[in-house]
Structure 1
């Protein structure tokens, strides 16, 4: 492979259609699309300071690299890319890509990042920004942290382990999502999802977990989670208290006790939901 070292590259498409390159400690600036339509590229310690650096590319490795704020929309329509030990300050990164592997990556401005991608693995990734990973599919996340609303809208086939999400409206319209050993905080969690499973999770959510088809929760805790499960079909096992439950569509709910149970007979059939409390403490019940 040809090597490029410590270059300062400017202008439009300086390495257009580049192939079989090892690029070290190089700065790409003041010019769009420097590596457009490239393939079999390895980047080490390099920096992207302008727009659209990797579009329509294939077989990319980037280690110890930096995307500055104006390196926005940096990786689109690119397949088989691995990014390790990176800061990606630019928003709107990774769009319609296949086989994306991110390890030890920080996204301080992750707005509209990882949209419509297929085949994503992430380890030790942190992100801040709204609409993260919308409509992507086949994701595996480990040791992930996110601060940003409307995350994972429309995702399909995702597994998350050891995450902390501060995210209003997370997992809306999602399908086949399983979350293990994680902390989730944000209003209206999971609305309109299908096959959402939460295992060993702690959740804080106003009016969360509603309008879900097949919600499964095992060994979870609900902190200040109120008006939960409205119109959801549920198989739920909660350690401790549930603040309030409203109009589940059917299934089973098990908890130590429920602060308030609202079952409106003109909206749901209460007989379709089996509720088991492990203590006699039930603060208020209402069925009308």
Structure 2
């Protein structure tokens, strides 16, 4: 592989359609699309400062690199890319890309990032930005913190473990979600989603879990959550009080506490709402 080291780039498409390169300690200044249509590129200790740095590319490895805020819309239509020990300060990173690995990455401005992409793995990272992972598929996230509203809207096949998520309207319109050992806070979590499992999670959600199909709660703590499960089908066990539960279509729940059960819709069949109070408490 050809080594490119200690250089500065300023022109549009400086390394257009290049392949089999090792790029070390380089700065990409003002030129757009410096690595467009590239392949088999290893990038180490570089800085990207302008728009569209990696588009229509394949087999890209990035380490110890910084993407400044001005490197917006940085990685689109790209397949098989790994980014490790790096900082991405640009919004709208990753669109219609696949086989993405982020390891020990800080995304300070992840607004509208990882859209319409698939085969995504994220580990040991910190992410902040709204609309993260919208309409994406096959997502695995571990040991990561995410702060930003509307996360995972329309996403499918999501596995999340040991994460902290602060997000209003997270997991809307999703299919096949499994979250384990997570702390999840935000309003209106999970609406219109199907086949969702939360295991050993702590969840806070105003009016959460509504209009859901096949929601499973396993050993979860549901705190500061009211008007939960409206028009949903839910099964499982809850280790805490639930402030209130309202008009679920189906509920088979055990609660280690108490709740205010509201059944005021004539279309709700009360025989489908079965709640067991493990400590003997009745509805309040």
TM-score, scaled relative to structure 1: 0.97
Tell me which residue corresponds to 2:223. 223
Work out the CA distance in 1 between the residues paired with 2:211 and 2:42.
46
Q: Which runs of structure 2 are paired with 1:182-261 in the superposition (5 Å)? A: 182-261=182-261
**Pairing of 1:60-209 with structure 2 (within 5 A):** 60-209=60-209
Give the whole-Å Cα distance in 2 for the aligned partners of 1:200 and 1:257. Answer: 17
Partner of 2:23: 23
Cα distance, 1:265 vs structure 2: 4.2
- State the match for 1:38 in structure 2: 38
Following TM superposition, the consecutive aligned residue runs of length 4 or more in structure 1 with deviations greater than 4 angstroms are none
The CA distance in 2 between the partners of 1:219 and 1:211, in whole Å, is 22
| Structure 2 CA distance for aligned equivalents of residues 195 and 34 of structure 1 | 42
Shift of 1:283: 5.0
CA distance in 2, matches of 1:259, 1:274: 13
Question: 2: CA distance between counterparts of 1:67 and 1:78?
Answer: 16
Shift in Å, 1:274 = 1.2
Contact 2:10 2:29 in 1 (8 A): yes
Match of residue 47 from structure 2: 47
1:278 Cα deviation after fit = 1.1
CA shift, 1:82, in A, is 0.5
Q: Is the 8 A contact 1:245 1:258 kept in 2?
A: no
Consecutive unaligned residues of structure 2, counting only runs of 5 or more, are none
Query: TM-score normalised to the size of structure 2?
Result: 0.98
* 1:144-178 superposed Cα distances (whole Å, 9 cap, x missing partner): 11110000001100100001011000000000000
Native 8 Å contact 2:223 2:240 kept in 1: no
In structure 1, stretches of 5+ residues that fail to align are none
Q: Deviations over 1:232-274 (max 9, x none)?
A: 1011210021111001111301102333110124131111121
Deviation at 1:125, TM superposition (A): 1.4
- Deviation per residue, 1:193-246 (Å, 9 max, x gap): 010100000001100011100000000001111111111101121002111100
Instruction: Report if the CA contact (8 A) 2:102-2:123 is conserved.
Output: yes
